[in-house]
Amino acid sequence: MEWVWMLSSRRHLGAAAGPANGFQRSRTLFWRSNLKGKLMDIITSTAIIPLLCGCVGIFGLFKLLQRIRMKAYIQDSVVVITGATSGLGKECAKVFHAAGAKLVLCGRNRERLEELVRELTTNQPKKTHKPHIVTFDLADSNTVVQAAAEILKCVGYVDILINNAGISYRGTIIDTTVDVDKMVMETNYFGPVALTKAILPSMIQKRQGHIVVISSIQGKISIPFRSAYAASKHATQAFFDCLRAEMEQYEIDVTVVSPGYIRTNLSLNAVTADGSRYGVMDKTTSEGRNAAEVAQEVLSANQSPTYSLDQMGLPRFFGCGRRSENVQRGDGLSSQSSVPYSMTTNTIIKRGQTVSVDIGKCQLLSNFVLTMGNHQHR
């Protein structure tokens, strides 16, 4: 009986001690978890945070070196800009001049070009080059060839050719004379093609150069009452796409810039169906993007050899960025290309995406394939 009583007593004691042991066990688990948390905090503060700070520092250094490299790429480069008397061409002249480029400004009006030179060379805070002036009419193929010879005689070679000059058009197809169609094509297509062909041999000889063409979103989408203009820009797009593939072997870049509406005098100076001046600032043009912003994008396209702009419209959608990938072209040619961000009006367009675009009262659907930049070789 005594033995049974002792066992019973032990059971009672164990039951009484159970809550105390459970509390002790819970407290131990709590301190262990708390210790693990403190250890994780120590590891995070001593390892992960410095690692993140280091990554941010490396990225910042990379961006700084990239910016220095970009400036060095434009510094002292010979840049030819057509249509430099106003609009986007004039703004391009300002940003390239500020970047230290040796400019050759081209246009039909010498007085306005000289005025631009005075504006560029006045109150410059740093060392820059005084621009050269060459006057000619893109619509006259003979003067274009002579102008190219004058440019090469003046500066010896061309690093960057920016085919910016152009003319717009407003009218119906049925009322537009063929002479007007030809005039628009001469200025927007045959002129840039003739100038490019005249400059190209000097680039091939050096195995270096960049040809930039300011096209339009209407080189991708044709809209009513712009037939002559859209046709000239479609032809421009096709020609320089072909040129890009052919020039890869010579390490010459070709970039087509296809902006939407820009606030310039393009609509004011547009021709109508009978060849007369349109003389009206369209609402879409007046509400378009600032020409100075677009000029900065063109500068960035030239500073980054593998960078391409297509249907441009958003400010620095890239942190200066570019995305390179191998692109199998429809003609079977493969090249290392830059796939740009793309947009019309205020809609970002991705490659191959079907997009609805509102232009005036006209809504269009189009399946887009982006213009590709050129290979990376520098």
Render each residue's pLDDT in the chain as its tens digit; 378 residues.
444 444 444 444 444 445 555 556 665 655 566 666 666 666 566 666 667 777 777 777 766 665 555 566 788 899 999 999 999 999 999 999 999 999 999 999 999 999 999 999 987 767 788 999 999 999 998 899 999 999 999 999 999 999 999 999 999 999 999 999 999 999 999 999 999 999 999 999 999 999 999 999 999 999 999 999 999 999 999 999 999 999 999 999 999 999 999 998 888 889 999 999 998 988 888 888 999 999 998 998 876 544 334 433 333 333 333 332 222 223 333 333 333 333 333 333 333 333 333 333 333 434 333 333 443 333
Q: Is 189 known to be catalytic?
A: no
DSSP label at residue 265: S
Task: Show Cβ contacts of residue 342 under 8 Å, excluding neighbours closer than 6 positions.
Answer: 310, 311, 312, 348, 349, 350, 351, 368, 370
Task: Show Cβ contacts of residue 329 under 8 Å, excluding neighbours closer than 6 positions.
Answer: 245, 335, 372
How many residues are there in the chain?
A: 378
Strand partners, 310: 342
Residue 163 Cα distances to 25, 212, 215, 306, angstroms: 81, 6, 9, 19
Task: Show Cβ contacts of residue 163 under 8 Å, excluding neighbours closer than 6 positions.
Answer: 82, 192, 195, 196, 211, 212, 213, 214
Q: Show me where the domains of the chain are located.
A: 75-367
CA atoms of 238 and 250, how far apart (whole Å)? 20
User: How would you class 55 by CB atoms within 10 Å of its CB: exposed for 0-12, middle for 13-18, buried for 19 or more?
Assistant: exposed
User: Could you tell me whether strands 253-257 and 210-214 are parallel, antiparallel, or unpaired per DSSP bridges?
Assistant: parallel
pLDDT digits (tens, 9 = 90+) for 49-103: 667 777 777 777 766 665 555 566 788 899 999 999 999 999 999 999 999 999 9
Please tell me the CATH code under which domain 75-367 is placed: 3.40.50.720
- What pLDDT is recorded for position 132? 96
Which among 73, 169, 229, 341 is annotated as catalytic? 229
pLDDT digits (tens, 9 = 90+) for 142-176: 899 999 999 999 999 999 999 999 999 999 999 99
